[in-house]
Amino acid sequence: MVTFIQVAIYGLVVWLGCYLIARDLSSWRLRFAGLALISYGVNVALAMLYTHISDSGLLLNLRLTFFFIPPIFWFATVWESIPEHRKYEGNRAKFIIRYGLLVMIGVVLISNVITNFPSSMYENILYLADEQPPNTSNYDFRLLGFQFSIFIVISFGLVFLSLSLTWRYVIKDIPKPLKNLFALSTLFFTLGYIAFWVSTEFLLFISADFLMFGAVIVIWDAMDAGESLLPDMLRSFTSSFLMVLIVVGQVLVIVPNITDTTLILILALITTIILVFVFEIPIQNGLDTVIFSRFPTIRQQRKNLRVAENIIIRRAENPALFQDESEFIRLTRRAISSYGDLTKLATSPLTHLPIIQHRLVQRNAHDDTLERAKELKALLTESIMRLKPNGADFGTSDEWRHYNALYFPYVVGLKPYRLRVFADDLDGAYRDALTWFRSQVPERTLYNWQNAAAMLIAQDLRERK
């Protein structure tokens, strides 16, 4: 019974982690939250394997090592949840924080392998040769060693820092219905993580904290994007776990007694099925690239159909856009940020604007999701161009700042703070704009200008409704 509960928790945690990542592959907050859940799922799997292979010192070592990883991803998720205006995060700071945490995880795993793998391998060889069973007692004493002491200090520091950042910054800007859940999940995880070092039996109890944390993050993302969450989530969950029941059920019928090999096979099947069904769209796009490499028209049409299907499931049903002015401004800012991504624009509630319906009728266009997204993009372009002062193609006076803040980063696609963008590769106004952004406009200032300009765009859209 305990094994069934553990397998169910493993599948649920890994599915939610993969779903968070697949929902928006470009979102660092969803990416880190998903990796936190997946790394915790690895802990649950290692705990099950260690229970069945009780004499494996290597599994105990890996289990203890992998428990240092979820706090790193949890902290990264909390950091990415802090609003831009509450933190300084330049391009180099983003690179250091995001990739530095991944390097930290690599150091944890590599140092563990270098330090402990040879002795573990030697002991397991002796065990297989029936010369002597592996002595696992020395693995417990490694917790007192310098290596694990450093990891414990770092992980506890990140746990308490996550709690502090949540109460100081994140909780102020999270939507009201999610405030308590986000705070409780962080608080309970902190307590559960402390309790784990008292007794490893608390590992399964922490699963509720991770599931609550993942649910809050994905609901927050859907609310922030103005998208519908439940249909898409139900489709992913139902398809994944229905196939898990069918496949794993057949394995249990054939092999009723769960052995070490059977348990490994079940975990591998669950993981594979979840990955295939959750990441169905990227996998299908990749397969089409190979299979239909000589048929670009078919490949593009199949991709468009998948995009349209995804949009239909995620798009909110006819929201009341004009009841809350602050919400309309936020959705406008989000739509401008997604200017270059037609899929994200198609799920925006702004596609339900009456002016878009009117413009579609005027040009006798089909009233479908992609056409509405194209019309919204054209509408945003017109509003942004209305911010441009009369005269030259580029200027640096105060009257130009709102236009520059939106036109060059979004319409043109210029990324002024990226290290790989060079002025010599650009011509005319684009080169002058890049030089001006880098030398005269701090990243936080540009962010503030974009927010102010988004308010003007939102006002323009409301007046044209």
CATH code of the domain containing 153: 1.20.1070
Quick check: 121 pLDDT over 50?
Answer: no
What is the tally of structural domains in the chain? 3
**String of b and e for 46-81 (b: at least 16 CB within 10 Å)?**
bbbbbebeeebbbbbbbbbbbbbbbbbbbbbbbbbb
Q: How far apart are CA 229 and CA 178, in angstroms?
A: 15
Both 308 and 402 in a single domain?
A: no
**The pLDDT of residue 155:** 76
**The pLDDT of residue 117:** 45
Both 70 and 139 in a single domain?
A: yes
Give, as one character, the DSSP assignment of residue 205: T
The first and second tokens of residue 226, run together, are 């103005």
Query: Which long-range contacts (C-beta less than 8 Å, at least 24 apart) are formed by 144-152?
Result: 147/111, 147/112, 147/115, 148/64, 151/65, 151/68, 151/108, 152/68, 152/197
Range of the domain at 302: 285-314
Both 309 and 370 in a single domain?
A: no
The first and second tokens of residue 127, run together, are 């065990």
Both 294 and 424 in a single domain?
A: no
Nearest to 201 by CA among 2, 1, 54: 2
Q: How far apart are CA 137 and CA 119, in angstroms?
A: 13
**The pLDDT of residue 130:** 44
pLDDT in tens, 315-371: 776 555 556 778 888 889 888 988 888 888 888 888 888 888 888 888 887 877 778
Percentage of the chain modeled with pLDDT above 90: 16
* Residue corresponding to tokens 């210029």: 414
**The pLDDT of residue 124:** 43
Q: How far apart are CA 150 and CA 278, in angstroms?
A: 36
Both 245 and 302 in a single domain?
A: no
The amino acid that residue 321 corresponds to is: L
Both 49 and 187 in a single domain?
A: yes
Sorting pLDDT into bands at 50, 70 and 90, what band is 2? Answer: low
Q: Residue length, the chain?
A: 465
Both 362 and 246 in a single domain?
A: no
Q: How far apart are CA 295 and CA 287, in angstroms?
A: 13
**The pLDDT of residue 381:** 92
Give me the mean pLDDT over the 176-188 stretch.
80
Sorting pLDDT into bands at 50, 70 and 90, what band is 142? Answer: very low
Q: How far apart are CA 303 and CA 281, in angstroms?
A: 9
The number of beta carbons lying within 10 Å of the beta carbon of residue 293 is: 9
Both 169 and 261 in a single domain?
A: yes
Give me the mean pLDDT over the 158-184 stretch.
80
The most confident of the ranges 78-87, 138-147, 207-216, 431-440 is: 207-216
Q: How far apart are CA 45 and CA 85, in angstroms?
A: 40
Is residue 100 domain-resident?
A: yes
The amino acid that residue 160 corresponds to is: F
Backbone angles phi, psi at 315, to 5 degrees: -70, 130
Q: How far apart are CA 403 and CA 412, in angstroms?
A: 12
Are 377 and 339 in contact, with CB atoms under 8 Å apart?
yes
Is residue 320 domain-resident?
A: no
Torsional sign, CA 165, 168, 173, 174: positive
Are 348 and 328 in contact, with CB atoms under 8 Å apart?
no
The first and second tokens of residue 68, run together, are 């240092």
Give me the mean pLDDT over the 397-421 stretch.
83
Is residue 90 domain-resident?
A: yes
Both 304 and 404 in a single domain?
A: no
H runs (alpha helix) in 24-143? 28-52, 57-66, 69-81, 91-128, 137-141
Is residue 54 domain-resident?
A: yes
Higher-confidence position of 274 and 84: 274
Nearest-Å Rg of the Cα atoms of the chain is 26
Both 10 and 135 in a single domain?
A: yes
Both 255 and 357 in a single domain?
A: no
Are 274 and 14 in contact, with CB atoms under 8 Å apart?
yes
Backbone angles phi, psi at 227, to 5 degrees: -105, 160
Q: How far apart are CA 320 and CA 328, in angstroms?
A: 10
Query: Which long-range contacts (C-beta less than 8 Å, at least 24 apart) are formed by 178-182?
Result: 178/216, 178/219, 178/220, 178/223, 181/212, 181/215, 181/216, 182/213, 182/216, 182/220
Q: How far apart are CA 155 and CA 149, in angstroms?
A: 10
The first and second tokens of residue 386, run together, are 């209305």
* Residue corresponding to tokens 């489709």: 235
Is residue 254 domain-resident?
A: yes
210 contact partners, CB below 8 Å, separation of at least 6? 13, 36, 37, 40, 70, 185, 189
Both 333 and 260 in a single domain?
A: no
Quick check: 141 pLDDT over 50?
Answer: no
